[in-house]
Amino acid sequence: MRNMIKTQGLTKIFKIGKKQETELVAVDDLSLEVERGEVFGFLGPNGAGKTTTVRMLTGLIRPSSGSAQIAGFELGKNDTEIRRNVGILTESPGMYERLSAEKNLTIFANLYDVPDIDKAVNKYLSMLGLWERRHDAVGSFSKGMRQKLVVARALIHEPQILFLDEPTTGLDPEASKTVRDFVEELKTEGRTIFMTTHNLDEAERLCDRVGIFQQKLLTQDSPANLREKMYGRRVVFHLRELQPAWVDLVSSIPGTGSVEAVDNKLVVSLKDPDESNPEIVRTLVAAGADVQFVGEIRHSLEQVYLEMVKGSERVQQ
């Protein structure tokens, strides 16, 4: 099975108001596919419908229309099987604070009918650095330690798919790094991870692909492809001095797009910089230019995200 998550026209409409006369569209016609072993980032502003999507995909709430297959099971028909095959970390997870970390994990391992409970509990307490505090009440834990524990809880039954809803929100840098490192470790194991996050640097570092979402799916692709689609690839050739004739000279080289002179720099749009850069440097040097260094303008995923979300808001207005 290649697709671990597949949705077709998934929609959720809430009825609000005293008489439930008003319809609020939380998720509108969502169609996407997430492959086995992929880390998929689901990005969007507050109120975009990300958490509602996660709740639908994990069988916690029913969609208003559309369909989905999760780990090969049909949403709405095989919800019990779906819940057995997914793990979920919510943005505000609840734990039994008077009980120890070990007891908390044991309770959830029992609920999931984990075959060797002691082995599973010990494995994840050790992996997440909680072994020394396993007998301590969860109420005495820092927020970072709690987050580690709920990650362990989400994995205790070895689910095929892990849903992480804002996994590092409110954590200090050290705890955030621990969670990110653990996600990277799970990625190397081939786990399928669906992650919502506001941290775009985190998404860029961890995710194979991302979807930018605001009630509707605005776009989806790898972070690198999204940057290239929106901005292209632009390379800056820094020169000791610039001769105006060199603009036309570089423009004539195959593979170049626009060429702009800025101070003593040539800013060149290129389809494939790795292929074109050496030829451009050779041409400039042959024309008498002193090439000081070459650098590529790097746009961030944050810039792509902000452009997409702002564009969507303008359309809605």
CA distances from 33 to 70, 220, 284 (A): 10, 10, 46
Evaluate the CA torsion angle 191, 196, 198, 204 in order and state its sign. Answer: positive
Of 172, 189, 221, the residue at which a domain comes to its end is 221
Residue 179 lies in a domain: yes
CATH of the domain at 271: 3.30.70.100
Q: Quick one: 134 and 18 in the same domain?
A: yes
Residue 303 lies in a domain: no
- Single-letter amino acid code for the residue at 59: G
CATH of the domain at 46: 3.40.50.300
Residue 310 lies in a domain: no
Determine the straight-line distance between the first and last CA of the chain, rounded to whole angstroms.
Answer: 41
Q: Quick one: 114 and 236 in the same domain?
A: no
Q: Quick one: 269 and 153 in the same domain?
A: no
Residue 21 lies in a domain: yes
208: alpha, beta or left, given left = phi > 0 and alpha = psi -120 to 50?
alpha
**What's residue 312's pLDDT?**
65
Q: Quick one: 239 and 150 in the same domain?
A: no
Number of Cβ within a 10 Å radius of residue 229: 11
Strands 39-43 and 192-196, sheet pairing: parallel
Residue 317 lies in a domain: no
Q: Quick one: 109 and 214 in the same domain?
A: yes
**What's residue 314's pLDDT?**
57
Residue 306 lies in a domain: no
Q: Quick one: 185 and 257 in the same domain?
A: no
Closest residue by Cα to residue 66 from 21, 6, 16, 2: 6
Q: Quick one: 110 and 246 in the same domain?
A: no
Which residues constitute the domain of residue 267?
Answer: 232-297
Q: Quick one: 197 and 274 in the same domain?
A: no
Q: Quick one: 267 and 203 in the same domain?
A: no
- Phi and psi at residue 288, to the nearest 5°: 100, 10
Q: Quick one: 189 and 293 in the same domain?
A: no
Of 186, 221, 256, the residue at which a domain comes to its end is 221
- Single-letter amino acid code for the residue at 63: P
Q: Quick one: 237 and 217 in the same domain?
A: no
Q: Quick one: 107 and 13 in the same domain?
A: yes
Total domains in the chain come to: 2
In order along its 317 residues, the chain shows pLDDT tens digits of 688 999 999 999 998 877 777 889 999 999 999 999 999 999 998 889 999 999 999 999 999 999 999 999 999 999 999 999 999 988 777 889 999 999 999 999 999 999 999 999 999 999 888 999 999 999 999 888 888 898 899 999 999 999 998 888 777 787 788 888 888 888 888 889 999 988 888 898 899 999 999 999 999 999 988 888 877 788 999 999 999 999 999 999 998 988 999 999 999 988 888 899 999 999 999 999 999 999 988 878 888 888 888 766 655 54
